[in-house]
């Protein structure tokens, strides 16, 4: 199965911050796509999109935390890095528990952000690799005859004798 | 008449004319000069006739009565004494005596009539006395004549008839003396009471720290009590004119005072005002001045007299109250800003975040071999913009946190509203509340303190936003802000669709320490009302027809002149 290239996405309602972040990530070698609202991002999102999302929390309508919940509900594989102007510990703990890769505060230092993105991308790559392996296995599994499947199940359960018969 | 021989009697009778003359003249003098009545020509007639009698007495016969006394008659009177009476040939010139008598009578009658006509009690009283006198006089004249003619026998008692007269005269004289003494005594009393009353007034004025003064406008000379001089710091001996008076005033108060005086002179009646005076040692005193102008028949002001009262203590208390009110407003402002601090911090954070990322991006770009300088230019431009944006947030914050005295200036209410909205923009966005703004394009200027009006607006918006906090439907999460030109005033309204105000609480919400929130002092609206009232405006609340409540406040419009 083909997966789209992992991308870097930035969602922030403040235009000047959005622009600055884009510049920064571009200068660091990434190719980010920017969105001014969670709504716009959801519209653009491909179900199979992968990669890293740099997400502001305080936004009108759908805020960052809500977006995270929705994405999880959709089964999205995106890694989320929260970037917020005012965050407290409970909020950050909740975010991490829900699966965020990192929780950074603005103004954010470039090295912090970039290393977080690299981590996210790495993690993403690992999980993608795992998914690809799984897919391959499943494909192969699909080619087995019913009898082969039976043998396989015995092998798995450790009944050598059964399998050899 | 105790003499026993003819010679003696003759001499006596001759000489008796002299005292008679003296008596006549005395009477005439008394009536003429003391009672001031009686015709002058009559007076002269009387005197001259009597003088004639005197002369005749010495020049004709033995005396005026008799040419020759022939014998002496002795008669007995009660008590066993004997007296002598002359008898003889009557002198034909005798008539001079009675004539002068008649003249005197005529004079006195005339005088009495004049006195009676004067109508006053005293003069009538005197007239009466003199009428009696005349009666006695006539009696004595007739008696003497009869006696001399030998018709009756009794002592001469002419002197007796004069006694009542003299008695009356002396009574009259002494009465006046008595009266004079009485009046003098009364004068003394009233002088004493005047002095006491003056002393009391001095005491009262000095206790009230009041000075009395009088300005002779035409000669430009001001008189003042000592207390008045002391209030102004002017020496007791110094002459004061208007310039000097004005010179004692505080520099800033001179023009207003001069203007007010000129207005008063132009046609006002009572002048009142409160001004500051600067004493030579630098001390400042507040005086309340109240005065009245007198105009002469041509309508020109010629005199102003007034009172100056030292109200420094009261004024100081007033200023203290105002200061405390300002401090309270400031405290309330700071508390409100505290509530907004989260969103304010966020507002500052955004530009800072943008600046940092921009700058670090620029660093990375410059680290490359072929740095795109155009992009660097763009980056720097954005950094500057963001910096200014942050600066504006700080500026707004500083303004609201300011604790200075009230500073009145011309304000455009629409601009004030827009500035306040910038303040709360983030907070409202966080709460998902939308603001609908409807500003009247033709708003006149108002005069007010920018910070305090912003405070009121901020407070109302925050209240409305809190009322909206629990509204479930998105359509209810709206605030409506409206400005309206109502001619005399500018009206601003802040409406929400929240939970509204309980009917019982409509007025109570403006009371201090009344709050429906779980936290909070309940001073916000009370302070807002104080502020609006100080601006001569009104602040009130109403429940909306649908849901939610609206708060209105008005500020008086100006004609657009700059302060």
Q: What is the DSSP string of A29-84?
A: T--EEEESSHHHHHHH--TT--EEEEEES--SSS-HHHHHHHHHHHT---EEEEEE
Q: What is the DSSP annotation of B406-457?
A: --EEEE-HHHHHHHHHHHHHHHHHHTT-EEEEEE-SSPPPEEEEHHHHHHHH
Q: What is the pLDDT of residue B76?
A: 63
**Total Cβ atoms within 10 A of residue B232:** 22
**Total Cβ atoms within 10 A of residue B121:** 8
Rounded Cα–Cα distance for residues B324 and B316 (Å): 12
* Strand residues in B121-234 grouped as ranges (E): 210-216, 221-224
φ and ψ at residue B408, rounded to 5 degrees: -85, 135
Q: What is the pLDDT of residue A146?
A: 84
Scan for tokens 């520099």, then name that residue: B251
Rounded Cα–Cα distance for residues B232 and B247 (Å): 10
- Residue A109: list chain B partners with CB under 8 A: 356, 360
CB contact under 8 Å between B430 and A58, yes or no, is yes
- Residue B375: list chain A partners with CB under 8 A: 23
List Cα–Cα distances, B244 to B234, B237, B281, B452, in angstroms.
9, 13, 17, 41
Residue B538 has pLDDT above 90, yes or no: yes
Summarize pLDDT for B28-43 with one digit per residue, the tens. Answer: 777 777 667 667 777 7
Rounded Cα–Cα distance for residues B537 and B556 (Å): 6
Residue B294 pairs in a beta bridge with B303
CB contact under 8 Å between B357 and A24, yes or no, is yes
Mode of pairing for the β-strands spanning B284-295 and B301-310: antiparallel
CB contact under 8 Å between A86 and B346, yes or no, is yes
Mode of pairing for the β-strands spanning B270-278 and B284-295: antiparallel
- Residue B385: list chain A partners with CB under 8 A: 16
CB contact under 8 Å between A86 and B382, yes or no, is no
CB contact under 8 Å between A106 and B389, yes or no, is no
For the CA atoms of A37, A41, A42, A45, the dihedral, rounded to the nearest 10 degrees, stands at: 180
Element (H, E) at B198: helix B158-207
| CA–CA min distance B352, chain A (Å) | 6
- Tokens read off for B419: 């500035």
Chain A residue with minimum CA distance to B364: A27
The angle at the Cα of A24, spanning A23 to A26, to the nearest 5 degrees, equals 65
Mode of pairing for the β-strands spanning A102-105 and B489-496: unpaired
Q: How confident is the model at residue B160 (pLDDT cuts 50, 70, 90)?
A: low
CB contact under 8 Å between A27 and B365, yes or no, is yes
Q: What is the pLDDT of residue A161?
A: 62
Q: Check CB contact of B172 with chain A, cutoff 8 Å.
A: no
Contact A57, A82 (CB under 8 A): yes
Q: Which of B350, B361, B389 sits opposite A24 (nearest CB)?
A: B361
CB contact under 8 Å between A20 and B361, yes or no, is yes
Residue B267 has pLDDT above 90, yes or no: no
Q: Which of B353, B362, B432 sits opposite A106 (nearest CB)?
A: B353
CB contact under 8 Å between A106 and B352, yes or no, is yes
B562 vs B305, which has greater pLDDT?
B305
CB contact under 8 Å between A85 and B360, yes or no, is no
Q: What is the pLDDT of residue B561?
A: 41
Q: Which residues of B416-452 are buried (b: 16+ CB within 10 A; e: fewer)?
A: bbebbbebbebbbbbeebebeeeebeebbbbbbbbbb
- Residue A26: list chain B partners with CB under 8 A: 361
Q: List, in order, residues 6 or more apart from A144 with CB less than 8 Å away.
A: A152
Residue A1 has pLDDT above 60, yes or no: no
Chain A residue with minimum CA distance to B367: A27
Rounded Cα–Cα distance for residues A53 and B77 (Å): 164
Residue of A22, A24, A29, A83 best to disrupt the B interface, most CBs of B under 10 A: A24
Rounded Cα–Cα distance for residues B497 and B489 (Å): 26
φ and ψ at residue B4, rounded to 5 degrees: -115, -15
Contact B23, B101 (CB under 8 A): no
| CA nearest neighbour of B556 among B541, B540, B538 | B538
Rounded Cα–Cα distance for residues B451 and B408 (Å): 10
Scan for tokens 């594989």, then name that residue: A77
Cross-sheet strand order for the sheet of B549-556: B434-439, B478-486, B489-496, B549-556, B538-543
Rounded Cα–Cα distance for residues B124 and A133 (Å): 153
Q: Which of A17, A26, A61 sits opposite B350 (nearest CB)?
A: A17
- Tokens read off for A43: 């519209």
Element (H, E) at B497: none
Chain B residue with minimum CA distance to A21: B357
Rounded Cα–Cα distance for residues B507 and B173 (Å): 85
Residue of A20, A38, A115, A117 best to disrupt the B interface, most CBs of B under 10 A: A20
| CA nearest neighbour of B37 among B131, B119, B127, B111 | B111
Element (H, E) at B366: helix B312-367
Q: What is the pLDDT of residue B210?
A: 86
CB contact under 8 Å between B432 and A109, yes or no, is no
| CA nearest neighbour of B481 among B424, B421, B547, B397 | B421
The predicted model gives B54-82 an average pLDDT of 66
Q: What is the pLDDT of residue B551?
A: 95
Work out how many CB contacts closer than 8 A connect A with B.
77
- Residue B386: list chain A partners with CB under 8 A: 16, 20
Summarize pLDDT for B468-522 with one digit per residue, the tens. Answer: 887 778 788 899 999 999 989 999 999 999 888 888 888 888 888 888 777 777 7
Q: Which of A23, A60, A61 sits opposite B361 (nearest CB)?
A: A23
Q: What is the pLDDT of residue B60?
A: 67
B78 vs B120, which has greater pLDDT?
B120
Rounded Cα–Cα distance for residues B158 and B208 (Å): 74
List Cα–Cα distances, B520 to B109, B328, B400, B525, in angstroms.
106, 15, 19, 12
- Residue B346: list chain A partners with CB under 8 A: 58, 85-86
φ and ψ at residue B14, rounded to 5 degrees: -65, -50
* Strand residues in B49-203 grouped as ranges (E): 66-76, 82-90
Q: How confident is the model at residue B388 (pLDDT cuts 50, 70, 90)?
A: very high
Q: Check CB contact of B358 with chain A, cutoff 8 Å.
A: yes
Scan for tokens 């109403």, then name that residue: B542
**Total Cβ atoms within 10 A of residue B472:** 7
B513 vs B68, which has greater pLDDT?
B513
Residue of A85, A87, A88 best to disrupt the B interface, most CBs of B under 10 A: A85
Rounded Cα–Cα distance for residues B561 and B563 (Å): 6
Q: Check CB contact of B357 with chain A, cutoff 8 Å.
A: yes
CB contact under 8 Å between A23 and B379, yes or no, is yes
Element (H, E) at A101: none
| CA nearest neighbour of A105 among A122, A121, A88, A80 | A88
Query: What's the DSSP call for residue B30?
Result: I
Rounded Cα–Cα distance for residues A67 and A83 (Å): 13
Q: How many residues does chain B have?
A: 563
Rounded Cα–Cα distance for residues A38 and A57 (Å): 10
Q: Which of A20, A58, A110 sits opposite B382 (nearest CB)?
A: A20
Q: How many residues does chain A have?
A: 165
CB contact under 8 Å between A27 and B361, yes or no, is yes
Q: Check CB contact of B429 with chain A, cutoff 8 Å.
A: yes
Q: What is the pLDDT of residue A33?
A: 93
Q: How confident is the model at residue A7 (pLDDT cuts 50, 70, 90)?
A: confident
Query: What's the DSSP call for residue B563?
Result: -
| CA–CA min distance A121, chain B (Å) | 20
The predicted model gives B388-406 an average pLDDT of 85
Q: What is the pLDDT of residue B84?
A: 63
Longest dimension (CA), chain A: 71
Q: Check CB contact of B355 with chain A, cutoff 8 Å.
A: yes
3-state class (DSSP) for residue B536? coil
- Tokens read off for B72: 């002496």
pLDDT above 70 as % of chain B: 84
Residue of B351, B355, B361 best to disrupt the A interface, most CBs of A under 10 A: B361
Residue B444 has pLDDT above 50, yes or no: yes
Residue B560 has pLDDT above 60, yes or no: no
CB contact under 8 Å between A17 and B360, yes or no, is no
CB contact under 8 Å between A58 and B386, yes or no, is no
Residue B155 has pLDDT above 70, yes or no: no
Chain B residue with minimum CA distance to A16: B354
Q: What is the pLDDT of residue B161?
A: 63
Chain A residue with minimum CA distance to B342: A86
Q: Which of A21, A58, A60 sits opposite B357 (nearest CB)?
A: A21
- Tokens read off for A51: 């990669």
Q: What is the pLDDT of residue B2?
A: 58
CB contact under 8 Å between A24 and B430, yes or no, is no
3-state class (DSSP) for residue B219? coil
Q: How confident is the model at residue B436 (pLDDT cuts 50, 70, 90)?
A: very high
- Residue A39: list chain B partners with CB under 8 A: none
| CA–CA min distance B362, chain A (Å) | 8
Contact B287, B310 (CB under 8 A): yes
pLDDT above 90 as % of chain A: 28
List Cα–Cα distances, B142 to A27, B135, B161, B305, B437, in angstroms.
159, 11, 12, 73, 126
């Amino acid at each position: 199965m083909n997966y789209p290239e992992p991308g870097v996405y930035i969602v922030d309602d403040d235009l000047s911050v959005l622009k600055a972040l884009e510049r920064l990530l571009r200068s660091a070698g990434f190719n980010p796509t920017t969105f001014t609202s969670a709504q716009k991002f959801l519209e653009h999102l491909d179900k199979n999109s992968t990669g890293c999302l740099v997400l502001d929390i305080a936004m009108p309508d759908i805020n960052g935390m809500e977006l995270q919940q929705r994405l999880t509900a959709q089964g999205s594989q995106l890694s989320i890095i929260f970037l917020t102007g005012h965050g407290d510990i409970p909020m950050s703990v909740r975010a991490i528990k829900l699966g965020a890769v990192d929780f950074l505060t603005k103004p954010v230092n470039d090295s912090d952000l970039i290393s977080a993105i690299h981590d996210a991308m790495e993690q993403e790559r690992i999980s993608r690799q795992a998914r690809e392996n799984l897919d391959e296995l499943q494909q192969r599994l699909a080619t087995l005859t019913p009898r082969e499947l039976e043998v396989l199940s015995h092998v798995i359960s450790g009944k050598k004798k059964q399998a050899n018969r | 008449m105790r003499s026993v021989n003819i010679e003696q009697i003759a001499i006596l009778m001759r000489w008796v004319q002299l005292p008679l003359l003296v008596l006549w003249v005395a009477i005439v003098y008394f009536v003429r000069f003391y009672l001031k009545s009686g015709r002058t020509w009559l007076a002269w007639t009387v005197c001259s006739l009597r003088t004639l009698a005197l002369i005749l007495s010495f020049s004709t016969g033995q005396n005026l009565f008799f040419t020759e006394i022939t014998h002496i008659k002795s008669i007995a009177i009660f008590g066993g004494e004997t007296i002598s009476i002359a008898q003889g040939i009557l002198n034909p010139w005798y008539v001079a005596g009675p004539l002068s008598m008649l003249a005197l009578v005529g004079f006195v009658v005339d005088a009495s009539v004049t006195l009676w006509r004067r109508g006053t009690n005293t003069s009538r009283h005197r007239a009466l006395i003199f009428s009696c006198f005349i009666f006695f006089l006539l009696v004595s004249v007739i008696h003497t004549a009869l006696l001399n003619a030998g018709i009756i026998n009794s002592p001469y008692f002419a002197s007796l008839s004069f006694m009542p007269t003299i008695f009356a005269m002396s009574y009259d004289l002494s009465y006046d003396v008595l009266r004079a003494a009485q009046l003098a005594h009364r004068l003394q009393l009233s002088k004493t009471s005047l002095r006491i009353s003056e002393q009391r007034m001095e005491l009262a004025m000095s206790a009230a720290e009041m000075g009395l003064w009088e300005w002779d406008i035409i000669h430009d000379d001001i008189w003042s009590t000592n207390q008045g001089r002391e209030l102004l710091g002017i020496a007791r001996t110094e002459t004061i004119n208007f310039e000097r008076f004005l010179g004692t005033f505080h520099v800033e108060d001179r023009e207003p005072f001069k203007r007010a005086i000129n207005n008063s002179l132009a046609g006002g009646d009572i002048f009142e005002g409160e001004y500051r005076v600067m004493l030579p040692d630098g001390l400042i005193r507040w005086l309340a001045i109240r005065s009245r102008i007198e105009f002469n028949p041509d309508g020109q002001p010629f005199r102003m007299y007034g009172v100056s009262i030292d109200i420094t203590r009261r004024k100081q208390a007033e200023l203290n109250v105002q200061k405390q009110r300002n401090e309270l407003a400031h405290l309330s402002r700071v508390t409100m800003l505290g509530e907004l601090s989260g969103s304010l911090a966020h507002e500052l954070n955004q530009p800072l975040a943008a600046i940092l990322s921009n700058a670090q991006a620029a660093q990375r770009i410059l680290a490359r071999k072929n740095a795109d300088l155009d992009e660097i230019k763009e980056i720097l431009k954005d950094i500057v913009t963001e910096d200014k944006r942050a600066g504006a947030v700080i500026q707004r914050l500083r303004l609201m946190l300011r604790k200075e005295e009230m500073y009145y200036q011309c304000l455009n209410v629409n601009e004030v509203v827009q500035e306040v909205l910038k303040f709360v923009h983030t907070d409202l966005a966080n709460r998902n509340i939308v603001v609908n703004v409807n500003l009247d394009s033709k708003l006149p200027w108002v005069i007010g303190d920018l910070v305090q009006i912003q405070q009121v607006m901020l407070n109302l918006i925050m209240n409305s936003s809190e009322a909206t906090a629990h509204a479930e439907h998105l359509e209810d999460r709206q605030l409506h802000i409206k400005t309206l030109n109502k001619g005399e005033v500018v009206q601003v309204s802040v409406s929400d669709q929240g939970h509204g105000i309980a009917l019982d609480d409509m007025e109570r919400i403006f009371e201090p320490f009344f709050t429906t929130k779980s936290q909070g002092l309940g001073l916000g609206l009370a302070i807002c009302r104080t502020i609006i009232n100080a601006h001569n405006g009104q602040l009130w609340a109403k429940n909306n027809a649908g849901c939610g409540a609206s708060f209105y406040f008005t500020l008086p419009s100006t004609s657009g002149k700059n302060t």
